[in-house]
């Protein structure tokens, strides 16, 4: 094994750059002569408007341009597209209203962009924006996810008959209904997946230029995929060939799904740069982020679980109202439909499953993918229903799961929905997690806590997700004559540690030191093809493409080595960075071969110069990471504050590239899961549509001092759906934690008759339950 190989817990090599201030983010990039942009946003959730006077703003000091939606449309550019529309149950098309980067005549949510001011400085642009005179005519707003679908609700889009964008279904409705008819028990819950805001450390930004001679746009921006943003700008918005747009993504300080999309500001800065004849830069402030970054979750689900007399699960049936916000973001319709609903069977032997999903328009910020994207919502529904069934049937949480787990011997297992699980030992994971959590001694800990005036609860959640499958990716490896290796790959790191993981694969496969490897991502001029990062697919797809590219490079190296050593290619072996004639001590290092490869006179005829290799990989089936989470919490009876005591996880991620990076991913995901379960909530005023939690004064983020120590372990079974056996781990913590935490809170409150509490389980909600002494306060 090489020093920096696969499976070793290596610290992230990119962290040295970040911790010493040498990271390069979008706001660190500057171009000569750049101007600065400010976006004027709507203070109203729903209103018609007229721009009465922009002359004063245009005459303000330093102002270069004041641009409006009418200007954008007049220049022949198109509205932002929805790239993942779905079909209605009856086969008809869903409702897709236009989304102009700058609103035209009507705004549909607080923060909707109304005008763009370009000036010499950001301060001048902001000051000038205050001079724009707007006549506002407010209209009623629809905010609540379910209430927006009811008769008489204000219409977000008056041109359509209601606020339903789509009415979609999945599963077997007839079989599910028949199965429910023979059920001995039915469990029912209304479950809320609360709206959350990504709040990445680095906010979005854009710096664009336009070269008049080549008629070419260049955009620097913090994205999760330069190529997808380029594709939308070129094909959908500006109607130009892809080579007329270059998108560069430098270092990215967090994405969580939110940075996947082509936002209005990206199109606006590129358009403004062309209009102004100079580069234009826009950097979001945190208040912009709260109002204009896509939000996550915001689903309401009526769920039913059918069981037989012995507590065996028979069928699941769900109706979900999924808030889309005012507009359809890039992939918004796909998230609550095809992205997650197949996981509503969990890890259990359900006979049938059926789900109906309504996509709902409201006068709120658009909703799209957020860490896990549909799978956390599904796992929360499944595991809350399993826990509720255990309580209704007076069974323990582990026993009801043991009765219903898909047995390991049944793999591969075709579920009641779309997928066939290739591997998994679910009961073994749960048993191991229970041992780590000291499950059997919990009663003693509960009794001890009660003596101190505290309520203790223990909750379990078992998740499974589908990930690691997407549009595929391509990797190109080039080794210079100096031994330096460059990897060009189409994925995009936003904090996961791609440089380290990819370097480990390259170092092991090529036998070269990590110091000689450079990983390049995020520049559409340097990297021909790329599909960015999302759905935990960077290693399952990008890593496999990279692994295959090393094979191509080695095969080329064998031809060059055989030529130099005057032997047949079939006689050359490669191991530990050396090409050797089999059965002899005659060999050459890979660096020596790379030097030869640079000279056309020293390589076989017909072979291109350079030691390189390129290949692509697209998964034909997803991976299915899964695991058991156990949360133990303590509740203060005087304040209702929940204090997480410990969190235990046993996961199955297949083959591990770097256990240390993986554990860091899990810690981060669990933190976001606790955030959703206990703290975070994007709240709108039902009447005005104002975002009441529009700053960190009102939106509670989890901090290190409110999170528990995490006991993390694995029980890995390599997956059979990709050549490296990798299952993906980036979203797992955020999927498994919320149901385990809420199940623990309910367990702590069981003596008060509580069977359900919605996320976030805030101190106020819990204090009301305790002081009022009953379950009604939890509703």
Q: How confident is the model at residue 773 (pLDDT cuts 50, 70, 90)?
A: confident
Q: How confident is the model at residue 772 (pLDDT cuts 50, 70, 90)?
A: confident
How many C-beta atoms surround the C-beta of residue 340 within 10 A? 28
The 10s digit of each residue's pLDDT in 387-421 is 999 999 999 999 999 999 999 999 999 999 989 99
Contact 363, 112 (CB under 8 A): no
pLDDT at 101 over 70: yes
The reported pLDDT for the residue numbered 774 is 59
CA–CA distance, 9 with 661 (Å, rounded to integer): 7
Q: How confident is the model at residue 211 (pLDDT cuts 50, 70, 90)?
A: very high
Q: How confident is the model at residue 2 (pLDDT cuts 50, 70, 90)?
A: low
pLDDT at 174 over 90: yes
| DSSP 8-class letter at 258 | G
Contact 258, 222 (CB under 8 A): no
DSSP per-residue string spanning 403-451: HHBPPGGG-SEE-SSS-EE----HHHHHHHHHHHTTGGGHHHHHHHHHH
pLDDT at 608 over 90: yes
- The mean pLDDT value of the chain amounts to 96
The reported pLDDT for the residue numbered 218 is 98
pLDDT at 778 over 90: no
Contact 242, 234 (CB under 8 A): yes
The reported pLDDT for the residue numbered 1 is 40
The 10s digit of each residue's pLDDT in 367-383 is 999 999 999 999 999 99
Q: What is the mean pLDDT of residues 567-578?
A: 97
Q: How confident is the model at residue 158 (pLDDT cuts 50, 70, 90)?
A: very high
Angle CA 584–585–586, to nearest 5: 90
Could you tell me the CA-to-CA distances from 412 to 12, 622, 640, 684, 775 in Å, in that order?
Answer: 35, 13, 45, 45, 42
pLDDT at 246 over 60: yes
| DSSP 8-class letter at 679 | I
Q: What is the mean pLDDT of residues 222-233?
A: 97
Q: What is the mean pLDDT of residues 750-770?
A: 96
The 10s digit of each residue's pLDDT in 659-685 is 999 999 999 999 999 999 999 999 999
CA–CA distance, 765 with 779 (Å, rounded to integer): 9
Q: What is the mean pLDDT of residues 473-499?
A: 96
SS3 state of residue 16: helix
The 10s digit of each residue's pLDDT in 286-305 is 999 999 999 999 999 999 99
Burial 342-366 (b: 16+ CB within 10 A, else e): bbbbbbbbbbbbbbbbbbbbbbbbb
pLDDT at 4 over 90: no
The 10s digit of each residue's pLDDT in 593-606 is 999 999 999 999 99
CA-CA-CA-CA dihedral for 517, 522, 524, 526, to nearest 10: -10
Could you tell me the CA-to-CA distances from 686 to 54, 143, 676, 691, 761 in Å, in that order?
Answer: 32, 6, 21, 10, 21
CA–CA distance, 502 with 493 (Å, rounded to integer): 11
pLDDT at 779 over 70: no
Q: What is the mean pLDDT of residues 556-577?
A: 97
Q: What is the mean pLDDT of residues 468-475?
A: 92
The 10s digit of each residue's pLDDT in 499-513 is 999 999 999 999 999
pLDDT at 430 over 50: yes
How many C-beta atoms surround the C-beta of residue 394 within 10 A? 7
The reported pLDDT for the residue numbered 646 is 97
Contact 217, 343 (CB under 8 A): no
The reported pLDDT for the residue numbered 642 is 98
């Amino acid at each position: 094994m090489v020093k920096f190989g696969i499976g070793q817990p290596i610290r992230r090599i990119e962290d040295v750059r970040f911790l010493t201030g040498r990271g390069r983010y979008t706001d660190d990039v500057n171009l000569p002569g750049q101007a600065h942009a400010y976006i004027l946003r709507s203070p109203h959730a729903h209103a018609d408007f007229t721009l009465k006077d922009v002359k004063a703003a245009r005459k303000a000091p330093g102002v270069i341009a004041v641009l409006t939606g009418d200007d954008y449309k007049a220049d022949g550019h198109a509205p932002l597209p929805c790239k993942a529309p779905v079909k209605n149950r009856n086969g008809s098309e869903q409702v897709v209203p236009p989304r102009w980067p700058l609103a035209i005549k009507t705004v549909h949510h607080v923060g909707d962009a109304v005008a763009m001011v370009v000036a010499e400085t950001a301060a001048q642009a902001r000051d000038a924006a205050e001079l724009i005179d707007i006549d506002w005519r407010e209209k009623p707003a629809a905010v609540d996810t379910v209430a927006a679908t009811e008769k008489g609700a204000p219409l977000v889009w008056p041109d359509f008959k209601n606020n339903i964008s789509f009415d979609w279904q999945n599963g077997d409705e007839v079989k599910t209904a028949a199965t429910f008819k023979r059920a001995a028990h039915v469990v029912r819950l209304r479950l809320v997946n609360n709206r959350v805001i990504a709040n990445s450390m680095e906010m979005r930004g854009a710096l664009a230029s336009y070269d008049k001679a080549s008629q070419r746009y260049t955009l620097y921006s913090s994205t999760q995929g330069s190529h997808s943003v380029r594709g939308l700008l070129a094909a959908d918005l500006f109607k130009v060939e892809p080579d007329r747009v270059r998108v560069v993504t430098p270092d990215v300080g967090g994405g969580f799904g939110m940075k996947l999309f082509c936002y209005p500001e990206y199109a606006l800065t590129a358009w403004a740069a062309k209009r102004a004849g100079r580069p234009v830069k826009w950097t979001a402030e945190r208040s912009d982020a709260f109002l204009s970054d896509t939000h996550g979750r915001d689903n309401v689900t009526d769920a039913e679980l059918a069981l037989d007399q012995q507590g065996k699960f028979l069928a699941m049936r769900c109706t979900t109202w999924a808030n889309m916000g005012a507009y359809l973001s890039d992939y918004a319709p796909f998230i609550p439909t095809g992205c997650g609903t197949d996981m509503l069977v969990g890890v259990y032997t359900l006979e049938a499953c059926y789900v109906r999903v309504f996509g709902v328009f409201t006068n709120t910020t658009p909703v799209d993918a957020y860490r896990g994207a549909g799978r956390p919502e599904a796992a929360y529904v499944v595991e809350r229903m399993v826990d509720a069934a255990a309580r209704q049937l007076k069974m323990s949480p582990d026993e009801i799961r043991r009765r219903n787990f898909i047995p390991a011997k049944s793999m591969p297992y075709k579920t009641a929905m779309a997928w066939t699980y290739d591997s998994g030992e679910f009961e073994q994971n749960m048993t191991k997690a229970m041992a780590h959590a000291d499950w059997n001694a919990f009663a003693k800990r509960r009794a001890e806590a009660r003596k101190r005036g505290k309520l203790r609860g223990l909750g379990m959640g078992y998740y499974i997700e589908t990930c690691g499958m997407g549009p595929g990716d391509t990797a190109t490896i080039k080794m210079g004559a100096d031994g330096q290796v460059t990897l060009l790959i189409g994925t995009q790191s936003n904090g996961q540690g791609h440089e380290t993981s990819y370097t480990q694969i390259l170092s092991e496969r090529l036998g070269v030191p990590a110091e000689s490897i450079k990983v390049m991502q995020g520049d559409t001029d340097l990297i021909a093809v790329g599909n960015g990062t999302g759905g935990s697919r960077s290693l399952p797809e990008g890593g496999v493409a990279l692994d295959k590219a090393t094979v191509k490079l080695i095969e080329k190296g064998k031809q060059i080595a055989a030529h130099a050593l005057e032997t047949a290619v079939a006689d050359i072996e490669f191991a530990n960075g050396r090409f050797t004639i089999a059965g002899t001590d005659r060999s050459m290092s890979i660096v020596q071969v790379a030097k030869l490869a640079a000279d056309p006179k020293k390589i076989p005829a017909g072979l291109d110069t350079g030691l390189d290799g390129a290949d692509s990989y697209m998964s034909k089936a997803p991976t299915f990471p899964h695991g058991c989470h156990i949360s133990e919490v303590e509740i203060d009876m005087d304040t209702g504050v929940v204090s997480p005591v410990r969190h235990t996880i046993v996961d199955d991620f297949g083959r591990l590239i770097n256990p240390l990076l993986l554990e860091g991913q899990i810690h981060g995901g669990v933190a976001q899961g606790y955030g959703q379960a206990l703290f975070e909530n994007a709240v709108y005023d039902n009447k005005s549509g104002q975002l009441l939690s529009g700053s960190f004064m009102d939106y509670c983020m989890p901090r290190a001092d409110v999170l528990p120590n995490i006991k993390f372990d694995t029980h890995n079974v390599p997956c059979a759906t990709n050549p490296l056996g990798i299952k993906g781990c980036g979203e797992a913590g955020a999927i498994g934690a919320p149901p385990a935490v809420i199940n623990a809170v309910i367990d702590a409150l069981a003596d008060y008759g509580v069977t359900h509490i919605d996320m976030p389980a805030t101190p106020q909600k819990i204090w009301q339950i305790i002081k009022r002494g009953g379950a009604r306060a939890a509703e």
